[in-house]
Chain A
Amino acid sequence: MAGLNDDAQWIVLMGFVVSFSLFFLAMLLNQSTLVGQTTAEGVLDFPKNDVRDVKDVITESVMLYTSGRDSPSNATVVQLDIESLALSRKNAVVGYTPIDEIALPTSSDKHTRISIHYNNGVTEYNEYWTSL
């Protein structure tokens, strides 16, 4: 390049191409440490297991009540347990149909119906659950 003539311009051009491709590769290397990061964050942020767990314990408790194995007053104690523990330890607002509003099964309608609400500020989940 220092020579004051225009020889070897192709060599110089190829030099540029190679150096730019090296920088491009360096950029790829720079980004590769982030692979899987957003995926893992997405999985950690979404409260899939929390929603499943809280739904399981709610239906279990309500079914104990509607099948006559637990008193309404005790089912209300369990409801307060779930709601206050979810708020204080899981940072989630959880609510479901008050026990005294859940219809007991009759001979014509054997189903138990509960509305379940879950909201942790990022994910909101509502379900209208009907027993089999």
Chain B
Amino acid sequence: MVNDTGQLYTIEGIAAALIMLFSAYLVLSATSVYTPGDTHISDMQLEQLGTDALRMMNTPINSSSAKSPLQEIVETNNATYFNETFLNYVNNKTELKTDNLHYSAVVTYRNITNGNTTWNYPLSSNRNLTGGEHPVRVTEWVLANIQAGSNVKQNRAILVEVLLWRD
């Protein structure tokens, strides 16, 4: 009963089986769908942009002024100044049309009079977070002479935290 006819049919059958198995494998492994929760590349760019903006704000404007704009903002709690400078840094583009970045900034400090716990207060924001956005968090350490969680005004290290998102 054994002979060597139909060899091409056998090869075709094997090839077809391999192709079908491979297609099934491709379909099953195709889980890398680009979803909004998986946007690492734009997250990275936003984070870099925000960090750079905060770092520029935490640099004294010239050698004669000892304090950086961000230090002054925190010490005087000047939300308008922060809003203006920060949006100017992150939203300016080469073309005339500006970018659409929004932010919400808080100041985090250690509360000495309340068991050294971490507290924060809102600094400024240009839009409320509704929950549908996909913000990234950028931070900047600031040394400011303020009364935050203690009885006296003194030099304190506080953390300016900014949630930044594009819409």
Residues of A that sit less than 8 Å from B by CB: 1, 6, 9, 12, 16, 19-20, 23, 26-27, 30, 33-34, 36-37, 39-41, 43-44, 49-50, 53-54, 56-57, 60-61, 64, 70, 74-75, 77-78, 80-82, 84-85, 88-90
Contact A61–B41 (Cβ < 8 Å): no
CA A9 – CA B12 in complex, angstroms?
Answer: 11
Query: Is the Cβ of B157 less than 8 Å from the Cβ of A82?
Result: yes
Contacts of A1 in B (CB 8 A): 8-9, 12
| Bound-state Cα–Cα, A53 to B162, Å | 15
- A81 neighbours in B (Cβ, 8 Å): 109-110, 156-158
Would you call B26 and A23 a contact (CB within 8 A)? yes
Residue from A41, A50, A54, A80 within 8 A of B110 (CB atoms): A80
Q: Is the interface of B mostly helix, strand, loop or mixed?
A: mixed
- CB pair A37–B40 under 8 Å, yes or no, is yes
B26 near A74 with CB under 8 A, answer no
Most buried by B among A16, A49, A61: A49
B residues less than 8 Å from A12 (CB atoms): 8, 12
Which DSSP category, helix, strand, loop or mixed, fits chain A's interface? helix
For B, the interface residue count at a CB cutoff of 8 angstroms equals 40
Query: Quick check: B47 and A27 within 8 Å, CB to CB?
Result: no
What would 5 A/B residue contacts be, using CB atoms closer than 8 Å?
A: A1-B8, A57-B143, A74-B155, A78-B157, A85-B110
The proximity string for B residues 22-57 relative to A, scoring 1 for CB distances below 8 Å and 0 otherwise, is: 110010011011100000110110011001000100
Task: From B33, B118, B157, give the contact of A57 (CB < 8 A).
Answer: B157
A56 touches B141 (CB 8 A): yes
- Would A37 and B41 be within 8 Å (CB), given that A23-B26, A81-B109, A89-B118 are in contact? yes
C-alpha spacing A80/B109, complex, angstroms = 11
Q: Which residues of the other chain, B, contact A19 by a CB distance below 8 angstroms? A: 19
Do A78 and B47 have beta carbons less than 8 Å apart?
Answer: no
Shortest Cβ distance from A24 into B: residue: B22
What 9 A-B pairs have minimum CB-CB distances, sorted nearest first? A57-B141, A40-B40, A81-B157, A40-B44, A88-B118, A40-B41, A49-B51, A78-B157, A82-B157
B143 — which chain A residues lie within 8 A by C-beta?
A: 57, 60-61, 64, 78
Asked if A23 and B156 make an inter-chain contact with CB atoms under 8 angstroms apart, the answer reads no
Would B34 and A33 count as touching, CB distance under 8 A?
yes
Write out the residue numbers on chain A whose beta carbons fall within 8 Å of the beta carbon of B157: 57, 61, 78, 81-82, 85
Do residues A33 and B141 form an inter-chain contact, with CB atoms below 8 A?
A: no
